[in-house]
Amino acid sequence: MNLIKSRWPFLVLAVAAIGYVAQFYRVEGLDKLRIKRKPGTLHADGESSSIVGATSSWFGEDPATGVSGSSLFDISTIASRERDEPTNSHSAKLLTKTVPSNPPPNLRPLRVGSFSLMTANNAVTLRDEKTFQVFVQICSRFDVLALQELSPRDAAALPAIVASIHDGGSSFDYLLGPAVGREGNIAQMAFLFNTNRLESDQDHLYCVDDPDNLLLRKPLVGWFRAKESPSHQAFTFTLVSVAVNPNSRFEEVRLIPELAKSILIDGRREDDIIFVGDFQSSERQLLDLRSLGWQTAISDLATTVRGDRMLDNMLIHSGVTREFNGRAGVIDFIREFNLTLQEAEALSSHLPIGAEFSPLEFVGQATH
């Protein structure tokens, strides 16, 4: 008994040390153990301490499928989202992670992404061959990629971008929306998509009507269907590309539920509606939408090349779109392509974001 009493302080210290290592480090390997620091997290105010470790690239080999060139997003933050204590009155309605449908092993998940080409000081994007090739490689990693803040030069380059992806062995096409915005602040949006994996109804491409000018950029709406699944089981979805005005972000974000209702009755009556783009908001600033069933795919990750802010995200209605498999993240192209900060910001001040979805339609009762 005396021996136990004399050693209990050391036991407490040992338990505390183990808890610290478990919280901030992970142990890797079997024959040769390695301890590596876990990815960084955002501060409470939604800003990241550093881009290093705060983002996860979408490169390498997927351990689930063994497919090279398709490493997984960092999903370590998904579980932490469910543990977060909300800071508003909707805490009792905080959503839990949905259980996804599981496609057969030969069907790869669909990769849905977004990339805002907003640049620092409105620099010209795709200005040289290096920037162009980096952008082409980024686009080719997605099955459908929503693009925001396209300048006239960017829009004119889309055929060349598609042709370059074709040269790499993939088949892509694009859907270009009209110029949106107000005088002196005009841009376009577009969807780039892999025609081997997705088909789209080009006649269903449109911008949301905004007669009262409540939005700086009218969202671009496109419809897609998985091609590799049996037609009666294929996942179909409406993708809504948004670019929120930073000067009225709170007012515009509050309109998301109303936008979803109007899109739901646009004639196609597609119930899987995915909002993606630049929300000018951190995950916590989108928290009010959870009480209405909307969950954010990106959690605790910076989405700027400087690693200092979360601006971009994807909103998925958890009661309807059960095809989301829980994997989501960013592509840190500044590190992957060994760019300087100036070179990266010449392409965009944002990082591309994305999430994975089952190519098979989940069969269940909709709760939109």
Phi and psi angles of residue 26, each rounded to the nearest 5 degrees, phi first: -125, 150
CA gap 289, 352 in Å, rounded: 23
Show the CA angle centred on residue 68, arms to residues 63 and 70, nearest 5°. Answer: 75
- pTM of the model as a whole: 0.73
Amino acid making up residue 246? P
- Of the candidates 66, 60, 76, 59, the residue with the CA atom closest to the CA atom of residue 326: 76
- Three-state secondary-structure class, residue 310: coil
Q: What is the pLDDT of residues 111-126, one digit of tens each?
A: 999 999 987 655 556 7
CB 53 within 8 A of CB 330: no
pLDDT in tens, 129-153: 888 999 999 999 999 999 999 988 8
Q: What is the per-residue pLDDT across 245-263, written as a single tens digit (0 to 9) for each?
A: 999 999 999 999 999 999 9
Question: What would the pLDDT profile of 150-173 be if each residue is shown by its tens digit?
Answer: 988 889 999 999 999 998 888 999
Beta carbons of 149 and 243 less than 8 angstroms apart: yes
Residue of 324, 315, 320, 326 whose CA lies nearest to 364: 320
d(CA 233, CA 157): 35
Given this model, what pLDDT does residue 290 score? 86
